[in-house]
Structure 1
């Protein structure tokens, strides 16, 4: 039988793959963050520990897709930092993804709690 840690690691990787865009948009919902700050925030959550090599290409894609905007800011003598902020399009996508996430969690929880209440009709759709 596989070790529990190995099972959790594999699960976390798959969970991150499916939710990382939602997580990043949510993190930027009410604040502007620079890349390393965003990475540290994600690392504060057990299942969202990613590398810079994963974060920055995703931020670049979100920028190209119009979900976030990026700008450089100089603060004191430190080198300039690239900050990320949600656009109106990003806010709309966050709402859509959040609704989808919540529906998915509700569906899974329903199945876990009441697995025998669901039947399958001949067309393949579930009836409750």
Structure 2
């Protein structure tokens, strides 16, 4: 199981922060929303798919941005579960540049700038969703 993509991806699919974020977000929904959907003949699955999921887009977007940035910047887990250079992440590659040639600081800085570009891009694209999703479940009323 080591040295595969699933072992690098699966640990980041859930987190305590994600559970807390969605719990707080769903606590803000009024119970009358569910009751009125039931009166209209909506099943539980249809309620989740047709009503809850569209209303949860901001929380899902916030969690996606947060999870991507967290997983992208992870260093220790990929170092532990990968053995071959083909499966190593870019953060490990940058740290290996330091041990291979310590005189090449410009090469390391260029690598760090290239590593930061996806994180900044995802943050800029999802900034509104991230802020809306983080604060939507925080205030009741």
TM-score, length-scaled by structure 1 = 0.31
Highest CA radius of gyration, 1 or 2? 2
Q: Relative contact order: is structure 1 or structure 2 higher (C-alpha 8 Å, sep ≥ 6)?
A: 2
- Whichever structure has more helix as a proportion of its residues is 2
- Whichever structure has more strand as a proportion of its residues is 1
